[in-house]
């Protein structure tokens, strides 16, 4: 026969402080939810190809900067382009837009850095940029190191 | 002379049993004695704890090596070779070892210990013996074969699946689901007749067991070869799976055990059943919501993910309710905390539980989760739950239950203190090291620091985490040795030792005798 040894309970009801505590937590959660209703989720880690296995590029850093700069707003969450903006996969082989071919020929190693920064007079004309922000300037103010991190990552996208 | 000659002719003579000694009972292939399942599941769990902490140390080592020897390992440590005949590739990287660490810790140590705790506590709460210790022990075999297979699959490129706890193909997860089905059948067969008015521990145990069975079954089905899902869907399901396992299974079983051990060890009645039921309700509702918070992808509406994040934050309320109820239960018995007994382990578990709920809430904040993704923070925060709260809850249950399960008079030893003072600081150091390393890594990434600079900084935090995991591994070893010593060197006891209380206690709350089968 098995010995049953039940555990006694001191009080059956719910203490009032527990109800107030629960109400407090729900209110705090409600306020937080109300202030975070609109926005867009970033892509799940792993949807964009990880560059960790390709030449030691820090994909985590690149994805953080890409998310902060808002690149996916125009080029799509997977950076494969939208109706108005080009696909960035395979951009390491050369520019997709015709207006950048000349720059890529003149500056084969750094044309992407120059284009993303947008401060060089060869690429700073808004008509030439066709809506692409100058990320080296205000308000984004990406540093050269940050742009280099993005470029190294973009070169790994096939 | 004649006898010797006879011996020479017939070989050695068989020694005859004296007529006044009863025949020895033949051992069964699968043990089926009362409490044998609880003892065996605890024993296997202790071995997994040592294995898991060892794998954890290897993982930290693989994270540190590239920073210490950047010329030798510029792209991280990676050892891979082909496995002949099956044409698979064995790959040992920091990612595959991290996956192995979580599998060994959550499915190996915590799950084996949790099921052992359930086998120990349930018959004593219901008064109904376990339906079949033999079946429970067969489930032990199936479960551990499945987990060992899953652990091996994490290192085989062709078999590893994405997800922190799901790195196994369908036939391995299917075996695990079968084992969990048996465990559920044995549990519910004993509990169903007395479900009405059941003690809160049984609610946590039962719901946790059903959830983990459902999740494992779904996971096995989704991995069937004819079911095709794109990478995003698999990654989203994997993230929700991990969250649900942590909330419903790891936390649920752990809280159930604490609700059992604390009143038993103190001899006090539970403070409030209403508070306990409020905790169950919060846990059930917010757990599902919390899984929604992991679905961070453009394909999921932002508001859904936000509500999920809020549910994760509100799980702090569940932790508060549980902690308050159990601290108020201890009230008046604080002197019991002076030793390294089951109550001390339970209180340490509650402290880790509160801390992990707070860290989870911080990690769920919108701005923070982006900063900390793919850093050491998520695993560090998880370590507070699995390595701190979970481990100490099962240490407490083992400390209380093993003398009763094994019918040995074991009143504590220095090994208990060693276990406390290695695992407690060990898990704290490891968790904080990984979390602060994650914070540093996330901040440096945003500032576009070079990968070398990031590695150079994070390596110090990883070093601290490595020391911590080393200490925790010592604690695991101490637990294994103590279990062995209870079994081999403690004197047999007809009845289990009374609970370690210094004052008279209500008879119905204490657990004076082990379950005795008839």
- End-to-end, the C-alpha distance of chain A in Å comes to 69
Confidence (pLDDT) at B197: 78
Q: Residue B82, class by beta-carbon neighbours within 10 Å (0-12 exposed, 13-18 middle, 19+ buried)?
A: exposed
Mean pLDDT of A132-150: 82
Q: Please state the separation of Cα B487 from the chain's center in Å.
A: 22
Give CA torsion, residues A146, A147, A153, A158, to 10 deg: 160
CA angle B148, B234, B441 (to 5 degrees): 80
Number of separate helices (H) and strands (E) present in chain B? 17, 3
Partner-chain contact A15 B274, CB within 8 Å: yes
Question: Is residue A96 predicted with pLDDT exceeding 80?
Answer: no
Question: Is residue B407 predicted with pLDDT exceeding 50?
Answer: yes
- A27's tokens: 């209110």
Predicted complex ipTM:
0.74
pTM beyond 0.90: the answer is: no
Q: Among A1, A9, A67, which would you mutate to test the B interface (most chain B Cβ atoms within 10 Å of its Cβ)?
A: A9
Pick from A6, A37, A64: CB nearest B508: A6
B468 neighbors B422 (Cβ within 8 angstroms): no
* Chain B residues touching A38 at Cβ < 8 A: 302-303
Query: What is the number of alpha carbons within 13 Å of residue B251 lying toward its C-beta?
Result: 30
Neighbours of B197 (CB within 10 A): 7
Mean pLDDT of B411-428: 90
- Whole-number Å distance between alpha carbons of B68 and B225: 42
B108 neighbors B48 (Cβ within 8 angstroms): yes
Partner-chain contact B448 A53, CB within 8 Å: no
Average per-residue pLDDT in chain B?
85
Q: Report the range of poorest mean pLDDT among B142-156, B261-275, B365-379, B383-397.
A: B365-379
- B266's tokens: 């103190």
- Nearest CA distance, B323 vs chain A (angstrom): 12
- Whole-number Å distance between alpha carbons of B10 and B119: 50
* Chain B residues touching A3 at Cβ < 8 A: 124, 127, 513-516
Query: DSSP labels for B381-400?
Result: HHHIIIIIIIHHHHHHHHHH
| Alpha helices (H) along B127-269 | 133-153, 170-191, 200-222, 231-244, 252-266
Q: Report the range of poorest mean pLDDT among B43-57, B232-246, B483-497.
A: B483-497
Residue of B nearest to A55 (CA): B75
- B53's tokens: 């902490």
Mean pLDDT of A72-99: 77
pLDDT band at B508 (very low <50, low <70, confident <90, very high): very low
Partner-chain contact A3 B127, CB within 8 Å: yes
Pick from B236, B277, B518: CB nearest A1: B518
B421 neighbors B509 (Cβ within 8 angstroms): no
Give CA torsion, residues B511, B512, B514, B516, to 10 deg: -110
A23 versus A158: the higher-pLDDT residue is A23
Mean pLDDT of B301-315: 93
Confidence (pLDDT) at B513: 43
* Chain A residues touching B505 at Cβ < 8 A: none
How many residues belong to chain B?
A: 518
Confidence (pLDDT) at A132: 84
Average per-residue pLDDT in chain A?
78
B358 versus A46: the higher-pLDDT residue is B358
- B334's tokens: 């604080």
Partner-chain contact B449 A33, CB within 8 Å: no
Residue of B nearest to A30 (CA): B310
B344 neighbors B399 (Cβ within 8 angstroms): no
- Whole-number Å distance between alpha carbons of B468 and B361: 24
Partner-chain contact B297 A41, CB within 8 Å: yes
B317 versus A109: the higher-pLDDT residue is B317
Confidence (pLDDT) at A61: 72
CA angle B322, B468, B336 (to 5 degrees): 45
Question: Is residue A52 predicted with pLDDT exceeding 50?
Answer: no
- A93 at the B interface (CB within 8 A)? no
Confidence (pLDDT) at B408: 86
Instruction: Report the percentage of chain B scoring pLDDT > 70.
Output: 89
- β-pairing verdict for A9-11 and B78-83: unpaired
Tell me, what DSSP letter sits at residue A70?
T
- Nearest CA distance, A1 vs chain B (angstrom): 5
Question: Is residue B507 predicted with pLDDT exceeding 50?
Answer: no
Question: Is residue B515 predicted with pLDDT exceeding 60?
Answer: no
Confidence (pLDDT) at A74: 75
- A3 at the B interface (CB within 8 A)? yes
Q: Among A10, A44, A65, which would you mutate to test the B interface (most chain B Cβ atoms within 10 Å of its Cβ)?
A: A44
pLDDT, tens digit (0-9, with 9 covering 90-100), for B334-383: 888 888 889 999 999 999 999 999 999 998 887 787 778 778 888 899 99
Cis peptide before B179 (omega within 30 of 0): no
Mean pLDDT of B233-256: 92
Query: DSSP labels for B298-320?
Result: TTS-HHHHHHHHHHHHHHHHHHH
pLDDT, tens digit (0-9, with 9 covering 90-100), for B431-486: 999 999 999 988 887 776 766 777 788 889 999 999 999 999 999 999 999 999 99
B95 versus A48: the higher-pLDDT residue is B95
Mean pLDDT of B4-9: 60
pLDDT band at B505 (very low <50, low <70, confident <90, very high): very low
Instruction: Report the percentage of chain B scoring pLDDT > 90.
Output: 52
A12 versus B350: the higher-pLDDT residue is B350
pLDDT, tens digit (0-9, with 9 covering 90-100), for B47-80: 999 999 999 999 888 888 877 887 777 666 777 7
Confidence (pLDDT) at A31: 94
pLDDT band at B1 (very low <50, low <70, confident <90, very high): low
pLDDT, tens digit (0-9, with 9 covering 90-100), for B75-120: 667 777 777 777 777 878 888 888 899 999 999 999 999 999 999 9
State whether residue B492 is helix, strand or coil. strand
Within 8 A by CB and 6+ apart from B429, the residues are B464, B465, B467, B468, B471
A118 neighbors A132 (Cβ within 8 angstroms): yes
């Amino acid at each position: 026969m098995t010995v049953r040894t039940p555990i006694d309970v001191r009080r059956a009801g719910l203490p009032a402080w527990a109800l107030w505590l629960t109400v407090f937590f729900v209110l705090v959660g409600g306020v937080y939810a109300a202030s975070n209703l609109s926005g867009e989720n970033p892509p799940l880690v792993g949807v964009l190809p990880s560059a960790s296995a390709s030449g030691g590029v820090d994909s985590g850093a690149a994805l953080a900067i890409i998310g902060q700069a808002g690149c996916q707003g125009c080029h799509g969450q997977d950076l494969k382009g939208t109706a108005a903006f080009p696909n960035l996969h395979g951009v390491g082989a050369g520019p997709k837009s015709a207006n950048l071919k000349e720059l890529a020929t003149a500056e084969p190693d750094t044309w992407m850095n120059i284009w993303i920064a947008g401060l060089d007079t060869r690429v700073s004309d808004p008509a030439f940029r066709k809506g692409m922000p100058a990320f080296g300037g205000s308000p984004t103010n990406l540093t050269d190191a940050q742009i280099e991190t993005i470029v190294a990552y973009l070169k790994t996208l096939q | 002379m004649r006898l010797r000659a006879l011996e020479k002719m017939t070989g050695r003579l068989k020694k005859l049993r004296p007529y006044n000694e009863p025949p020895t009972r033949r051992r069964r292939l699968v043990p089926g004695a009362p409490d044998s399942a609880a003892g065996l599941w605890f024993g296997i769990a202790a071995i997994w704890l040592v294995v898991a902490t060892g794998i954890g140390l290897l993982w930290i080592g693989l994270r540190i090596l590239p920073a210490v020897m950047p010329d030798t390992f510029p792209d991280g440590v990676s050892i891979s070779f082909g496995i002949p005949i099956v044409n698979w590739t064995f790959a040992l990287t920091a990612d595959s070892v991290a996956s192995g660490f979580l599998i060994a810790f959550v499915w190996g140590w915590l799950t084996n210990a949790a099921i052992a705790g359930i086998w120990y506590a349930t018959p004593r709460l219901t008064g109904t013996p376990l339906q079949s210790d033999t079946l429970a022990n067969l489930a032990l075999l199936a479960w551990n074969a499945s987990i060992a297979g899953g652990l091996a699959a994490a290192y085989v490129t062709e078999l590893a699946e994405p997800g922190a706890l799901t790195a196994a193909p369908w036939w391995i997860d299917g075996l695990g689901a079968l084992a969990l089905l048996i465990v559920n059948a044995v549990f519910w067969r004993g509990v169903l007749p007395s479900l009405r008015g059941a003690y809160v521990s049984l609610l946590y145990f039962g719901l946790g067991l059903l959830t983990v069975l459902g999740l494992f079954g779904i996971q096995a089905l989704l991995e069937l070869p004819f079911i095709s899902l794109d990478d995003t869907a698999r990654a989203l399901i994997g993230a929700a799976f991990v969250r649900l396992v942590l909330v419903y299974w790891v936390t649920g079983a752990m809280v159930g055990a604490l609700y059992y051990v604390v009143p038993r060890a103190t001899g006090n009645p539970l403070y409030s059943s209403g508070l306990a039921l409020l905790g169950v309700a919060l846990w059930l509702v917010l757990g599902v919501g919390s899984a929604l918070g992991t679905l961070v992808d453009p394909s999921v509406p932002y508001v859904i993910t936000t509500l999920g994040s809020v549910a994760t934050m509100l799980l702090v309320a569940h932790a508060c309710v549980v902690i308050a109820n159990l601290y108020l239960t201890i009230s008046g018995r604080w002197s019991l905390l002076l030793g390294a007994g089951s109550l001390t382990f339970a209180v340490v578990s509650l402290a880790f539980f509160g801390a992990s709920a707070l860290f989870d809430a911080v990690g769920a904040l919108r701005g923070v989760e982006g900063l900390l993704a793919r850093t050491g923070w998520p695993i560090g925060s998880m370590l507070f739950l699995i390595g701190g709260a979970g481990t100490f809850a099962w240490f407490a249950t083992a400390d209380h239950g093993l003398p009763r399960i094994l019918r040995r008079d074991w009143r504590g030893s220095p090994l208990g203190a060693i276990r406390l003072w290695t695992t407690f600081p060990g898990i704290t150091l490891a968790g904080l090291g990984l979390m602060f390393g994650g914070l540093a890594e996330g901040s440096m990434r945003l500032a576009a620091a070079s990968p070398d600079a990031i590695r150079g900084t994070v390596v110090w935090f990883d070093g601290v985490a490595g020391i911590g995991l080393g200490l925790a591994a010592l604690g695991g070893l101490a637990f294994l040795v103590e279990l062995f010593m209870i079994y081999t060197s403690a004197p047999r006891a007809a009845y289990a030792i009374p609970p370690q209380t210094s004052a008279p206690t209500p008879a119905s709350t204490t657990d004076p005798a082990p379950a005795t089968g008839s």
